[in-house]
Structure 1
Amino acid sequence: MARVFPKLTATGVQATTYLLGIALFSISFLVFLNSSISFVVTDVIGQKKHVGDAVGTLGFADELLALVACPLWGLLSDRIGVRTVAVIGYCIVGVSLVCLVQSTNVYPELLLGRLGFSLGGAACSTMVTAVLPAMVAKRPEESGKQDAEEQTTANGHASRLRDEERPSRTGSIGHATSASVSSELTITQTRFASRSRTRHEDPESGEPAKKDSADSASGTSQLAGLVGFFTGAGALLALAVFLPLPAHFQDNGQSRPQSVQTSFYIVGAIAVCVAVFIFFGLRNLPGESGKSISALWHTPYDESTNTDQEGHLHITLTPAPSYLSLVTEAVKLGFTDQSIGLGYLGGFVARASSVGISLFIPLFVNAYFVRNGLCTSNPDNLTDIKENCKRAYTLASALTGIAETAALICAPLFGWLGGKVVSGRSEWPLMGAAAIGVGGYIAFGFLRNPDAFHGEGGQWAFIAVILIGISQIGSIVCSLGLLGRGINGGASERAVGEQSKAEPSSTTTPGQTGAIEGDEVAPLLPSSSAKYDGDEDGKKGDRSHLKGSIAGVYSFAGGAGILLLTKLGGALFDSWTPGAPFFMLAIFNAILLIAVAVVGGGSAIRAKRKEDADLLAA
């Protein structure tokens, strides 16, 4: 996998585990449970009345708990590691699936089982975001080696300057000391440029090291495209493999309650197997060294190493930030870093869009059939629609299948686009996804005939759901890519920018301030610790310690989008028009579109002005 995807710094086993373990099954078990929970109520427990109300209450409780659990799991992963949280999450999911079919009543037994599943599912979905930056993060030994080489180069320049300025030991007393060829008066622009190569310039090609940052962010965007693809494939796996299990066991002679229970046992066992797979496959993940369960009761310390101008190493141990400070900083970054802020907003829209596809498209289709007298009842949940209006269920399944297929096809495309434009404005693909979403949701909300197979105008339903699927996966992939860029790439770019401001360019003249002014024997290259100067926690731009917290806030934003759409959109669906949830989603996408245009456009204008100013200065 690492050879196929060269920008990854994780091993092939780790990348495979991430895609085939965490990403593939992140929502697979949730899709299975949401589609089969009504059978647990009717067949296992035996409740025949108010099934829709029970299923709705269980789903609402699930989302409410997940809204709180996602940030907490993210915070916890910053202390004990993303692998540990993912393993715990899938184990909880497996145990909860077994306990659910042991329930004898809806309240409290089935409710407690569903809350347990929500707790584990929140950990699984949050780790999809938290593990992504680790796939392209530099390993500590690589970073340390690079810093050591840079410091050695810097000290070498300083040592050579000292040797050149000392009087020759072999010269006679009567002769004057020969002038240094590297003195301030003889430094030329060419010589200074050759000696002032820093960490942001490749010593062989002369290319800015900002390219390394761009490569890292590009790798994150492309990997996010694969994550979106495997996440969608996981949903199809649940629909194609997990959901048919009860019917298969009934054909082999089991009763309906037994077939449902056996299916839950098998899917629960698969969840535990996924946890074992993750436990072994994500060992030694980059950026996860030093994190363990013991951090829960021992105060962890962050170790930082600084090198002074004389080459002496100074190691400083500082207590790790508290849980409250971690989540506060993650939330604050949403307002101070445009990549992370747009990532949060994209997650809000993406998760709400998933509800629009899985819940409101079937309800919209069913409302059309009831309104036109094609169905005799008005069921309030998907299972009743399947039983009482099979034609509506078939059409809804076809439309949602088309949307998900379009999403699967376009997931790698959005990842590729994010990687291609990362050196420019990587927000633009997200803007495109939002624009497509505005058109798709408005078109679907105004449909008079969603039956794409019969009647006049039904072909527009095909186009609308394709646009909806493309918009949803674009929001997912682009928001994940932006978060990865904010955690890994953005920090490097800022570090390069800050350091370049502090150093003279290759056109610096002897009279200007810079490394050549003042003490002539000062190293032309700053020490590796310079990139951390001025930061209150000693980690300027380093956000790897926040990836779990950022992932938690991202999942929280998505959960808020789901709750808002399901409650408000559902109420407007009943009281106003069946197209109301889709109009809400169009508004969400319009807000995202405007945000990207304002933030990305403003950054482009500032970059253009800076480029013009640099040209004038040169």
Structure 2
Amino acid sequence: MARFLPTLTATRLQATTYLLGIALFSIAFLVFLNSSISFVVTDVIGRTHAVGDAVGTLGFADELLALVACPAWGLLSDRIGVRTVAVLGYAIVGISLVALVQSREVYPDLLLGRLGFSVGGAACSTMVTAVLPSMVARRVRSREEEEQQKAVAANRDVRRLQDEDRPSRDSSRGHVATASVSSELTITPGRYQSQSRSRSRHPDNPPLKLVEKLDETDGTSQLAGFVGMFTGIGALVALVGFLPLPAYFQKHGSTPAAGVQYSFYLVGVVAFVVAVGIFFGLRDLPGEEGKSITSLWRADKPSKAKLDDDLTPRASYSYLTLLTQSLKLGFTDPSIGLGYVGGFVARASSVGISLFIPLFVNAYFVREGLCKSNPHNVPDIRDECAKAYLLASGLSGIAETAALICAPLFGWLGGRIVKGMAELPLLGASMMGILGYVGFGLVENPDAFHGGDRWAMLSIIAIGISQIGSIVCSLALLGRGINNAPEEPRPGTADTLRANGHTRNSDAEAAPLLSESASDTRSAVPDRSELKGSIAGIYSLAGGAGILLLTKLGGVLFDRWTPGAPFFMLAIFNAVLFLAVAAVGGGAALRRTR
């Protein structure tokens, strides 16, 4: 599989583990639970009344807890590493699936199990975003390394001139200056580079690792497209592989309750297998060096024992610092800010497809007298109005199929778009969302398969394209924002010295290698590569806020105003995203013309 992927920093094993483990199953277990939780209520617990209310309450509690758990897991991953958080997440999912079918009552048994699943699922979904920057960044020469190479050439010319002049000096009786002991012992950047070159030429000393930076690559968008595609495949795995399991066990002699329990046990085992695969497959992930469980109680001070490749101390930052810096970037960096808004729209769109399309279809069938069911009770659609359920499933399937097909396309477009115009695919996705949601909200007869409104099918396709476009483009923008922070002069580097009016040869030699100011600056403001988990948490937080707003306000407007209200809300969300992208893109274009 890895041969089809763009150039990656990660190994083939790590990339395959990311796509087949984290990306695919992050949605598969959630789809399975959401589709089968009603059977736990009816078959395992034996409850026959107010099933829809119980399922709705469980889902709302799930989202409410995830709203807090996602940023918490993101912050934690910046301390202990994304691999550890992903492994813990899938292990918790497995335990929760087994515990869910041991419930005897909805409250508190089933509620606690669902909350446990929410905690584990939040870790899994957040790591989809957090791992991406480590996968796609290409290693290139940094500006600092280019400066070092120029300094090497300059020093070589100076030494050559000194060697040519040395015989005449040696023959004279004049005083020859010699270096003092203290100056020989002083470690400076220039002397360190010279010593490093000497060590690298010696056969017993391997060359030092080059200073590298993360650079913007087309692979960010391309891999984000594959991530979107594999999350869609994960939903299909749940629908085709997991959901038929209860019927399979019943066919082979199990009772309905036992069939549901065996299904949850089997899917729980799959979650544990995925956790083990991630544990081994994501070892030594780039950018995760030095992160471990012991970092949980590490103080907010630089560690003098460990040094980064750029020879500055690696700092450990407080959770408050990580959180505030991630939030601040949403307002100061256009890529990350648009990524947050795109995540808000994308997650809300997923609810529009999975929840409000069935409600809309069922309301139509009830209004026309084609079914006798409660249009506001989604679990009843399957049993009390099979025609409405089949139509809703067909429309949702078309939307998801369009999304599955277009996911790599959006990734490809994001990687091939004109430089400096990376927001254009997101602009197109938001426009498709405006057209699709307004069009479907105005539909009178959604049964496009049997002579219904001709715009229903086109609107559904546009909705699917908009959803996946928001997901892929927002992930790509976050990855680029993390990997391509603006160049900031570091204390003691050539940039800083030039900014202060000094020359490299005079002041670089005198600057201490491990300056105190460098440590302080680094501990005050984290590098973006050290914020990827926190940024992923805020991204998931924005998505959770979109889900809660749509489900509660959209549900109220669905009942009191019109069944198309949730779709009009989603059109407004996409319009806000469209305006934000246009403002950012227009501002960038204006700056380029100056």
SS in 2 for 1:450: coil
SS in 1 for 2:217: helix
Tell me if the contact between 1:218 and 1:422 (Cα under 8 Å) persists in the aligned partners: no
**Residue 560 to residue 529, structure 1, CA distance change in 2 (3 Å):** farther
- Distance in 2 (alpha carbons) for counterparts of 1:74 and 1:480: 15
- Distance in 1 (alpha carbons) for counterparts of 2:520 and 2:221: 28
Tell me if the contact between 1:28 and 1:237 (Cα under 8 Å) persists in the aligned partners: yes
Q: Which residue identity is paired with 1:19?
A: L
> Paired residue for 1:155?
152
Tell me if the contact between 2:32 and 2:242 (Cα under 8 Å) persists in the aligned partners: yes
Tell me if the contact between 1:89 and 1:119 (Cα under 8 Å) persists in the aligned partners: yes
Mapping of residues 55-454 of structure 1, within 5 Å = 55-137=55-137, 151-161=148-158, 163-164=160-161, 168-170=165-167, 216-299=216-299, 302=302, 317=313, 319-421=315-417, 423-454=419-450
- Distance in 1 (alpha carbons) for counterparts of 2:79 and 2:165: 57
Tell me if the contact between 1:305 and 1:315 (Cα under 8 Å) persists in the aligned partners: no
Cα deviation 1:142-178 (Å, max 9, x = unaligned): 989x966853542331342364378723459999xxx
**Residue 519 to residue 23, structure 1, CA distance change in 2 (3 Å):** closer
SS in 1 for 2:521: coil
> Paired residue for 1:467?
462
Tell me if the contact between 2:315 and 2:522 (Cα under 8 Å) persists in the aligned partners: no
> Paired residue for 2:575?
590
> Paired residue for 1:576?
561
SS in 2 for 1:169: helix
SS in 2 for 1:103: coil
- Distance in 2 (alpha carbons) for counterparts of 1:36 and 1:379: 20
Deviation of the 1:423 alpha carbon:
2.3
Q: Which residue identity is paired with 1:576?
A: W
Deviation of the 1:377 alpha carbon:
1.8
> Paired residue for 2:589?
604
SS in 2 for 1:27: helix
Tell me if the contact between 2:66 and 2:118 (Cα under 8 Å) persists in the aligned partners: yes
Deviation of the 1:7 alpha carbon:
1.7
- Distance in 2 (alpha carbons) for counterparts of 1:529 and 1:427: 40
SS in 2 for 1:217: coil
SS in 2 for 1:487: helix
**Residue 15 to residue 462, structure 1, CA distance change in 2 (3 Å):** same
- Distance in 1 (alpha carbons) for counterparts of 2:359 and 2:440: 13
- Distance in 2 (alpha carbons) for counterparts of 1:527 and 1:440: 61
Deviates more, 1:444-453 or 1:598-607: 598-607
**Residue 426 to residue 541, structure 1, CA distance change in 2 (3 Å):** farther
TM-score of the superposition, structure 1-length normalised?
0.82
Deviation of the 1:441 alpha carbon:
0.2
Tell me if the contact between 2:93 and 2:117 (Cα under 8 Å) persists in the aligned partners: yes
Cα deviation 1:456-483 (Å, max 9, x = unaligned): 42x3111000000000000000000000
Tell me if the contact between 2:492 and 2:512 (Cα under 8 Å) persists in the aligned partners: no
SS in 2 for 1:10: coil
**2:533 is the alignment partner of 1:548:** yes
- Distance in 2 (alpha carbons) for counterparts of 1:349 and 1:335: 17
Deviation of the 1:381 alpha carbon:
3.3
Q: Which residue identity is paired with 1:328?
A: T
SS in 2 for 1:335: helix
The sequence identity of aligned pairs, in percent, is 65
Q: Which residue identity is paired with 1:417?
A: L
Deviates more, 1:322-331 or 1:165-174: 165-174
**Residue 302 to residue 497, structure 1, CA distance change in 2 (3 Å):** closer
> Paired residue for 1:612?
none
**2:11 is the alignment partner of 1:11:** yes
Tell me if the contact between 2:312 and 2:518 (Cα under 8 Å) persists in the aligned partners: no
- When the two chains are superposed, the root-mean-square deviation of aligned CA atoms in Å is 3.5
**Residue 421 to residue 499, structure 1, CA distance change in 2 (3 Å):** farther
**Residue 41 to residue 515, structure 1, CA distance change in 2 (3 Å):** closer
Deviation of the 1:254 alpha carbon:
1.1
Tell me if the contact between 1:339 and 1:483 (Cα under 8 Å) persists in the aligned partners: yes
Tell me if the contact between 2:229 and 2:408 (Cα under 8 Å) persists in the aligned partners: yes
Deviation of the 1:528 alpha carbon:
11
Deviation of the 1:330 alpha carbon:
0.4
Tell me if the contact between 2:306 and 2:313 (Cα under 8 Å) persists in the aligned partners: no
- Distance in 2 (alpha carbons) for counterparts of 1:543 and 1:27: 27
Deviation of the 1:534 alpha carbon:
11
Cα deviation 1:376-404 (Å, max 9, x = unaligned): 12253333101111011000000000000
**Residue 399 to residue 533, structure 1, CA distance change in 2 (3 Å):** same
> Paired residue for 2:21?
21
**Residue 450 to residue 553, structure 1, CA distance change in 2 (3 Å):** same
- Distance in 2 (alpha carbons) for counterparts of 1:252 and 1:318: 58
2:481 to 483, 486, 493: 486
Tell me if the contact between 1:155 and 1:523 (Cα under 8 Å) persists in the aligned partners: no
Tell me if the contact between 1:82 and 1:548 (Cα under 8 Å) persists in the aligned partners: yes
Tell me if the contact between 1:90 and 1:120 (Cα under 8 Å) persists in the aligned partners: yes
Deviation of the 1:455 alpha carbon:
2.9
Tell me if the contact between 2:438 and 2:567 (Cα under 8 Å) persists in the aligned partners: yes
**2:46 is the alignment partner of 1:46:** yes
Deviation of the 1:318 alpha carbon:
6.2
SS in 2 for 1:289: coil
Deviation of the 1:409 alpha carbon:
0.3
- Distance in 2 (alpha carbons) for counterparts of 1:593 and 1:315: 43
Tell me if the contact between 1:495 and 1:541 (Cα under 8 Å) persists in the aligned partners: no
Q: Which residue identity is paired with 2:342?
A: G
Tell me if the contact between 2:89 and 2:122 (Cα under 8 Å) persists in the aligned partners: yes
Cα deviation 1:286-307 (Å, max 9, x = unaligned): 0111111111233376569999
Q: Structure 2: which 5+ runs fail to align?
A: 173-212
